[in-house]
Amino acid sequence: MEPNLPSGDGQKGPPKNSPNIVHFFIVGIVITFILNMVVSTMMTDRKVQIEYGQFIQLVEDGAVKQVRIETDQIALTLKDGANQSRVAQILHGSPENSQVLKSLVYYTGRLDDPGLTQRLIDNEVAFYKPIVQSNPILSFISSWIFPLLIFYGVYYVITRNFSKSLGGIGGMMNVGKSKAKYYDMEKNTGVSFNDVAGQDEAKESLTELVDFLHSPEKYRQIGAKQPKGALLVGPPGTGKTLLAKAVAGEAKVPFFSLSGSEFVEMFVGVGASRVRDLFGEAAKHAPCIIFIDEIDAIGKSRDTHLGGNDEREQTLNQLLAEMDGFDSSKGVLILAATNRPEILDKALLRPGRFDRRIIVENPDLPGREAILAVHAKKVTLGPDVKLREIGLATSGATGADLANMVNEAALRAVRLGRTEVLQEDLMDAVEVVIAGKEKKDRILNPREKRMVAFHETGHALAAAVQADRETDAPPVQKITIIPRTMGALGYTMNRPEEERYLMTRSELLARITTLLAGRAAEEIEFGEISTGAANDIERATKLARSMVTQYGMSGKFGMMALESVQNQYLDGRSVSLVSEATGADVDKEVACILDECHQKALALLRQNRDRLAEIALFLIERETMSGFQFMELLRGRKTA
């Protein structure tokens, strides 16, 4: 269950990034001055002054194309077809310099020469005197203001993008600042323990921490110290973050919340700096609570022989030092949450840092009912709603799943034009979350529809027969052959009558038999098999392997542990502990269990073949069958 964040009244956002104007203008003026000097120097290097006599000689030799007469100088342009050797001889005293003439601009000083105009006319040289309207303001703007504006725009874009890439507060100079969100829980008390259901043991452990923040003196009188930290451990969606916010809401103290990944950046030392800044801010607001979500992002074990991340390890080292260094009597409490406690560094878990480990697991049946009741308060329920039945049908669901189911039920009620949520809306929401929505556009051909009907009837019939004869296997609640969006062409929903925590060997074998009964029904009715049993086979194989490798239910291996479970709060992946030869024997034992259950499923269905055909035909006609209808047909009674 994810918490609803408080409103913006209690959250202090970071200041907007803005370049330092004074520093910019100092640097900009220097750069503009240097640029103007460079341009002026480059222009001066390309201009060559010649003697007035050389100018006259070039005119009379017909080498000049155009002349620009200015106030104190005369600039000339040479003809492209002029004798380059002759021109080089006149200007440089050597014909070998003709290759550099085109890259230079020649000019001479203007003298009092009354015959210049006539000489230019006689030699067919174009000449003019430019009209210059000098404006010192425009000259200043083009030389200084305009370049400064361009530099400022480039500077602003670069600094803003760079500060975003660093993720710092206030730009480049604040990259080491903490990114924790600050909530003033005295003003924002929207989350309390009343909003958390199904986690009574976790709330009990955290209530003492809240009481210490409220009344530290009674603990100090007896010599007790406040635990420095508490680690919330459990699967995703069970309410770890909500519990942390509820602690802050109950204690009404400032609350710093951030994720472990926000400490780590590409620059070495940034994460450690953010840790120091976070604890510095917390000390200023004590008593307060620091909550680090997904702490495994920075708290992984320092296993250097496989290579490591220096930045992450420096951040972890700084966190360890800060947790040792601060005084818990000031009321700074550290909460952290993770789904993978097995990979955390041992130094992080020792007493004195995280003194308590609080397990936040999937809720049991009473817990699911309590969670449903909390979320049901936000919607209008009909008189026929029974939350216990929804709780029974959602074994293994997390708080987040249950909240999603209640919301889906409310959405369905609105779609159907109702003003209240009925039991059928909630049951349909359970199916939507578990199997997906009905695919009304997927139409099975008659043979496929018949095969799916017999397959699902085989599951239901095996479950019901074994429940009557051998074990207390859960009864059938619903059978359908309507395809779902998650890939199922049909499914059979079983509902336990009570919450179960232990399974006997016979019950596990009965469950495997029920899973394989769908394939058995296809073999009995059609004499061949289809791909529809893929998921059944996967689940049955996993269950049979667990019996052999983890539960000690194999006659060959006895109570020998052959596998261990890793990431128990995530995927629960199993890791083999045996050699390849023993692993091959394990595979044979698993195959033997599956074959035994398959043969048992075939025998059960052959004994009840008439009922199998009758129920399957009813399912083909109706497409959906309730548990009540199924039991009536199984007992040989007609049903409407």
Q: For 144-148, 541-545, 551-555, 606-610, which range has the lowest pLDDT when averaged over its residues?
A: 144-148
Q: What is the third-level CATH fold of 50-132?
A: 3.30.720
Q: Which residues are catalytic, by number? A: 456
User: Across the chain, how many H-helices and E-strands are there?
Assistant: 22, 16
In this prediction, residue 247 carries a pLDDT of 85
Ranges of H-type helices in 443-528: 446-469, 505-526
In this prediction, residue 25 carries a pLDDT of 65
| More confident site: 128 or 38 | 128
In this prediction, residue 326 carries a pLDDT of 67
Residue 33 above 50 pLDDT?
Answer: yes
In this prediction, residue 472 carries a pLDDT of 44
Extract the tokens encoding 250.
């109950």
Is 356 in contact with 201 (CB distance < 8 Å)? Answer: no
In this prediction, residue 169 carries a pLDDT of 40
Residue in 244, 240, 248 with CA at minimum distance from that of residue 185? 248
Q: What is the third-level CATH fold of 181-359?
A: Rossmann fold (3.40.50)
**Which of the following CATH numbers is that of domain 365-435: 1.10.3720.10, 3.40.50.920, 1.10.8.60, 1.25.10.10?**
1.10.8.60
Confidence bin at 280 (pLDDT 50/70/90)? confident
Q: Give the max Cα distance, the chain.
A: 134
Residue count of the chain: 640
| More confident site: 187 or 367 | 367
Strands (E), 172-253: 181-184, 229-233
Q: How far is CA 39 from CA 126, 442, 511, in A?
A: 29, 74, 87
Residue 136 above 70 pLDDT?
Answer: no
Extract the tokens encoding 452.
């799916």
* Residue 84 buriedness (CB in 10 A; 0-12 / 13-18 / 19+): middle
Residue 519 above 90 pLDDT?
Answer: yes
Is 429 in contact with 405 (CB distance < 8 Å)? Answer: yes
Q: How far is CA 330 from CA 402, 479, 488, in A?
A: 39, 60, 57
Extract the tokens encoding 576.
């083999």
Residue 269 above 50 pLDDT?
Answer: yes
What radius of gyration, in Å, describes the C-alpha atoms of the chain? Answer: 42
Extract the tokens encoding 549.
């490798």
Q: Is the peptide bond before 287 cis (omega within 30 degrees of 0)?
A: yes
CA distance 93 to 78: 17
In this prediction, residue 15 carries a pLDDT of 40
Residue 548 above 90 pLDDT?
Answer: yes
- Which residue type sits at 20? N
CA distance 558 to 549: 9
| More confident site: 504 or 167 | 504
3-state secondary structure of 48: strand
In this prediction, residue 589 carries a pLDDT of 94
pLDDT, tens digit, 9 for 90 and up, residues 193-241: 888 888 888 888 888 888 887 888 888 888 888 788 889 998 888 888 8
Query: Where in the chain are the domains?
Result: 50-132, 181-359, 365-435, 446-634
Q: How far is CA 547 from CA 396, 519, 521, 572, in A?
A: 20, 22, 25, 15
Bin 351: left if φ > 0, else alpha if -120 < ψ < 50, else beta.
beta
Average pLDDT score, the chain: 79
Is 235 in contact with 159 (CB distance < 8 Å)? Answer: no
- Work out the percent of the chain whose per-residue pLDDT is above 70: 76
pLDDT, tens digit, 9 for 90 and up, residues 561-610: 888 887 777 767 788 888 888 989 999 999 999 999 999 999 999 999 99
Residue 184 above 80 pLDDT?
Answer: no
* Residue 80 buriedness (CB in 10 A; 0-12 / 13-18 / 19+): exposed
pLDDT, tens digit, 9 for 90 and up, residues 252-268: 888 888 888 777 765 55
Is 126 in contact with 65 (CB distance < 8 Å)? Answer: yes
Is 611 in contact with 562 (CB distance < 8 Å)? Answer: no
In this prediction, residue 44 carries a pLDDT of 52
CATH superfamily of 446-634: Peptidase M41 (1.20.58.760)
Residue 496 above 80 pLDDT?
Answer: no
Confidence bin at 508 (pLDDT 50/70/90)? very high
The CB-side HSE value for 475 (13 A sphere, CA atoms) comes to: 12
Q: Which of 26-30, 49-53, 329-333 has the highest mean pLDDT?
A: 49-53
Extract the tokens encoding 130.
């430019």
CB neighbours of residue 142 within 10 Å: 11
- Which residue bears the tokens 């392997």? 545
Extract the tokens encoding 566.
């890793």
In this prediction, residue 123 carries a pLDDT of 81
In this prediction, residue 3 carries a pLDDT of 38
Is 324 in contact with 352 (CB distance < 8 Å)? Answer: yes
CA angle at residue 16 from 15 to 19, to 5 degrees? 120
Is 244 in contact with 146 (CB distance < 8 Å)? Answer: no
Is 478 in contact with 627 (CB distance < 8 Å)? Answer: yes
Tell me what the mean pLDDT of segment 94-116 comes to.
68
The CB-side HSE value for 315 (13 A sphere, CA atoms) comes to: 29
In this prediction, residue 103 carries a pLDDT of 54
In this prediction, residue 545 carries a pLDDT of 94
Extract the tokens encoding 282.
């917390």
Q: Is the peptide bond before 147 cis (omega within 30 degrees of 0)?
A: no
Confidence bin at 170 (pLDDT 50/70/90)? very low
Is 480 in contact with 490 (CB distance < 8 Å)? Answer: yes
Q: For 168-172, 185-189, 511-515, 630-634, which range has the lowest pLDDT when averaged over its residues?
A: 168-172
Confidence bin at 80 (pLDDT 50/70/90)? confident
Sheet holding 181-184, edge to edge: 181-184, 254-259, 288-293, 332-338, 229-233, 356-359
Is this model's pTM higher than 0.85 or not? no
Residue 18 above 50 pLDDT?
Answer: no
- Cβ-proximal residues to 376 (8 Å cutoff; 6+ apart), any chain: 385, 387, 406, 421
CA distance 283 to 275: 12
CA distance 37 to 42: 9
Extract the tokens encoding 167.
């993720």
In this prediction, residue 143 carries a pLDDT of 66
CA distance 448 to 227: 62
| More confident site: 213 or 465 | 465
- Eight-class DSSP state of 285: T
CB neighbours of residue 322 within 10 Å: 20
Tell me what the mean pLDDT of segment 373-397 comes to.
89
In this prediction, residue 636 carries a pLDDT of 73
- Work out the percent of the chain whose per-residue pLDDT is above 90: 22
Extract the tokens encoding 480.
């359908």
Extract the tokens encoding 341.
């406690």
In this prediction, residue 593 carries a pLDDT of 95
